[in-house]
Structure 1
Amino acid sequence: MPEMTVQVRWPDGRLRQYYSPSLVLHDHLAPGTYRVDDFRSRATTALDEASARVRAKYGFACTSAAASAEEIALDAARHADFAEVEVVSMYPPLPGADVASTRGVASLRPGSTSGKGAEVASTRGVASLRPGSTSSDEELS
C-alpha cells in the first residue's frame, strides 16, 4: 500500500507535514488554498478512508492515520474556520499522472466535490504563494 505526505501552510505561516498510509488524500485534496473548515473535513475524511483501507488489507486500523487526523484537527482548531490554509505539496503524485515534477498531482481542485473538472497541476511551484513570500520552494523548518 503506497503511503504519502501532504505539506500544509497554516494561516499563521506555520508549515506542517502530515502522513497518510494511502494515496487516498489525492481523492480529496490538491495543492491550493482551502478554508480551514473545508480542509479539516476533507483531510480527516481521507484519513478515515486510508485507515479503513489498512483495516481491510491487514485486519487492523492505521494508528498513524488516526494520529495525522488528530494533529490536523488540533492545528485547525488554532485558526478561524473561514481562514485559508494552503496545501503546498502532495508526495508522491498519483501513479501514471502526467506531471512535470514531483510536486504536481492529478486531483481535485479546491472547492470541488466530485471528479468532474479534475485536472493535472504540473508546475514546478505551488498553486499559490502566501502574501509576502518570494519563493515556491520554501523548505520545512
Structure 2
Amino acid sequence: MPEMRFAVRWPDGAESSHYSPSLVMHDYLSTGARYGVAEFVARAGEALDAAGERVRAAYGFACTSAMASRDEIVRTAAAYSDGEVVVLRMEPPLPVGAS
C-alpha cells in the first residue's frame, strides 16, 4: 500500500507535514487548494479515516499513524477560529492521467 506525506500552511503562516498510509488523500485534498479551517479538518479527517480503514482491511489492524495525523490536525486547527488552510504539497503526487 503506497504511503504519502502532505504539507499544509495554516492561517498564521505556520506549516506542518502529515502522514497517510494511503494515496486516498488525493480523493479529498488537492495541492494548491485553499480550504476553510473547518472544511480542511473535515476533509483530512475523513481521508485519514478512509486510509486507516484500508490498512485495517489489508492487514487486519488499524493504522495508528493515520489516527495520530488526524488528531494532530484537529489539535492544531483548534487554535484558529477562521481562515484558510493551503495544501502545499502531496507526495507522491497523483500519477499522470489519474483523477
Name which one, 1 or 2, has greater alpha-carbon Rg: 1
Global fold match (TM > 0.5): yes
Structure 1 residue 83 displacement after superposition: 1.0
TM-score, length of structure 2 as denominator length: 0.94
Report matched runs for 1:1-141 at 5 Å.
1-31=1-31, 32-80=33-81, 82-95=82-95, 97=96
2:90 and 2:3 mapped to 1: Cα distance? 11
Q: Which blocks of at least 5 consecutive residues in structure 1 are unaligned?
A: 99-105, 108-141
RMSD: 1.2
Q: Which amino acid aligns with 2:35?
A: Y
> Which structure shows the bigger proportion of residues in helix conformation?
2
Q: Which amino acid aligns with 1:67?
A: A
Structure 1 residue 94 displacement after superposition: 1.7
Identity of aligned residues (%): 57
Q: Which blocks of at least 5 consecutive residues in structure 2 are unaligned?
A: none
Question: Is the partner of 2:11 in helix, strand or coil?
Answer: coil
Question: Is the partner of 1:43 in helix, strand or coil?
Answer: helix
Question: Is the partner of 2:86 in helix, strand or coil?
Answer: strand
Question: Which runs of structure 1 show a deviation greater than 4 angstroms over 4 or more consecutive aligned residues?
Answer: none
Tell me which of the two structures has the higher relative contact order, counting C-alpha pairs closer than 8 angstroms and 6 or more residues apart. Answer: 2
TM-score, length of structure 1 as denominator length: 0.67
Structure 1 residue 67 displacement after superposition: 0.1
**Could you give the per-residue CA deviations for residues 30-77 of structure 1, whole angstroms, max 9, x where no partner exists?**
022110000000000000000000000000000000000000000111
Structure 1 residue 84 displacement after superposition: 0.7
